[in-house]
Amino acid sequence: MESKLNLKVEVKVDPSLEKAQKIYNGLQEDIQKYLIEDYIKPQLEEGDKWISLFNELIDSEESRSLKYMCLLDPVTKIINNETALAKMRKINTEGFDRIYQQHFIEKRNTFSLVSDPYISMCMEFVMRRWH
């Protein structure tokens, strides 16, 4: 006897993504392929590169010595790449999501004497990891 399980899953999709999907689906196949190969894949690879570098540097001797500046470039690149930022917030390495939220959404630097949120974030990452 076979039983069938009917599950209904409702997923809420951003209306702008639905519109983008409709436009994409209306494009010729060669144009879709071009967009994926020349635009989407490079963005994903670029973001992954910066995330990987961040993970490598947070464990480096520099970070262990509380020298936060080595993280500044990858953190800046991650924050300025929407795909990388979304991925990094999701995987939440070193509490990235909360620290990003505090510095860029709430606009509160951890270190009040530091006016640059990128630097304050990097300082917090090394302090959390190694202090």
Which of these, 102, 114, 52, 111, lies nearest to 77 by C-alpha position? 52
This prediction has a pTM of 0.73
Give residue 93's pLDDT: 82
Q: Which two tokens stand for residue 108?
A: 């509160």
**Residue 65, helix vs strand vs coil:** coil
| Percentage above 70 pLDDT, the chain | 89
Cβ proximity of 101 and 91 under 8 Å: no
Give residue 43's pLDDT: 79
Give per-residue pLDDT as tens, 52-85. 999 999 999 999 999 999 999 999 999 999 889 9
What amino acid occupies position 99?
I
Give residue 20's pLDDT: 81
Per-residue pLDDT band for 110 (boundaries 50, 70, 90) equals very high
What amino acid occupies position 108?
R
Give residue 4's pLDDT: 59
Per-residue pLDDT band for 131 (boundaries 50, 70, 90) equals confident
Give per-residue pLDDT as tens, 2-56. 555 555 555 566 677 788 888 888 889 898 888 888 888 887 888 899 999 999 9
pLDDT over 80 (residue 111): yes
